[in-house]
Structure 1
């Protein structure tokens, strides 16, 4: 079930990035809410916030290793994992895979969400952030309750 979430999320990420690449010029910006939210096409050769720009190969390798680890863990948990944990890891894996595809195929990551007060990011980044947020909620609020129930 969670592999379907991953596949669908990666497909949506890649479709949106393709639409941006095909229909916009590099650095072109389209205001959605003028001065607040724009769609701006950039090519990011780095990691988050363009850190480590130009190190696409090593970033792809690190992302591949982490994503494979998450996918193996998901496979091992597939029957007994809590839904929140499984969903959070699925979103993180989907985001990693979406950006790996870009790094391997294009040698850069397509970024386009531009909030003007934050570095430009993409849908895969949103998946990773939401997955990490859900993982934090799971670790701090759900897992302790599950552990307490096991101790009874």
Structure 2
């Protein structure tokens, strides 16, 4: 549900901003912060940030296929991705859909954000969504793998601790059994055995006396 909201809001903001630019400053420029950035109407027939100019048909087909693949990945691996990763993927989809709508219905993409403090291509809200989404997805993947690795090490350590503890308990049990056997072997003989031993000794003493009398 969250991903659908992100995609919807991203596409809506991109399309509304382009409609405003076309209506307010068609083929013109507007200074917002002189020397820093402003708005310049540009009809881009290439990819994001003006890459691969005049390749609208090819980019339209590629973008459509990419959106299908990304949507499939988002649905298929939703449980494996963190919330941050899902939002990043949704932003990429929103950016792709925003520019895809322009290519299908206009034959070009409307760009208007111009960074005047540096030499950079004019771009739009869809490009921002795709860029931010890519960064979010990479961060989620990198830190997700690190967290997973730490979890595996922790689980291994816990298993080693359990094995060591079981071995210690087994050693203590073996020691206790050995002590019990030693105690049993050193225990005094029962009274019946003592009486039999005393009777045998008395018989031997009587036989000795009779021998001396003879």
| 1:17 to partner: Cα distance | 0.6
Q: Name stretches of at least 5 consecutive residues in structure 2 with no aligned partner.
A: 156-214
| Equivalence for 1:140 | 142
Higher RCO, 1 or 2 (CA under 8 Å, sep at least 6)? 1
Contact 2:86–2:137 under 8 Å retained in 1? no
Contact 2:92–2:130 under 8 Å retained in 1? yes
Residues 1:114 and 2:114 aligned together = yes
1:124 to 123, 126, 138: 126
Instruction: Tell me how far apart the structure 2 counterparts of residues 102 and 136 of structure 1 sit (CA, whole Å).
Output: 27
Instruction: Tell me how far apart the structure 2 counterparts of residues 21 and 45 of structure 1 sit (CA, whole Å).
Output: 16
The count of corresponding residues between Structure 1 and Structure 2 is 151
CA offsets, 1:37-79, max 9 Å, x none?
0011111001133222111010011111111111111112334
Q: Report the TM-score when normalising by structure 1.
A: 0.92
Residues 1:13 and 2:22 aligned together = no
RMSD (Å), alpha carbons? 1.5
Q: Report the TM-score when normalising by structure 2.
A: 0.67
Higher helix share: 2
| 1:150 to partner: Cα distance | 5.0
| Equivalence for 2:102 | 102
Q: Name stretches of at least 5 consecutive residues in structure 1 with no aligned partner.
A: none
SS of 1:120's partner is coil
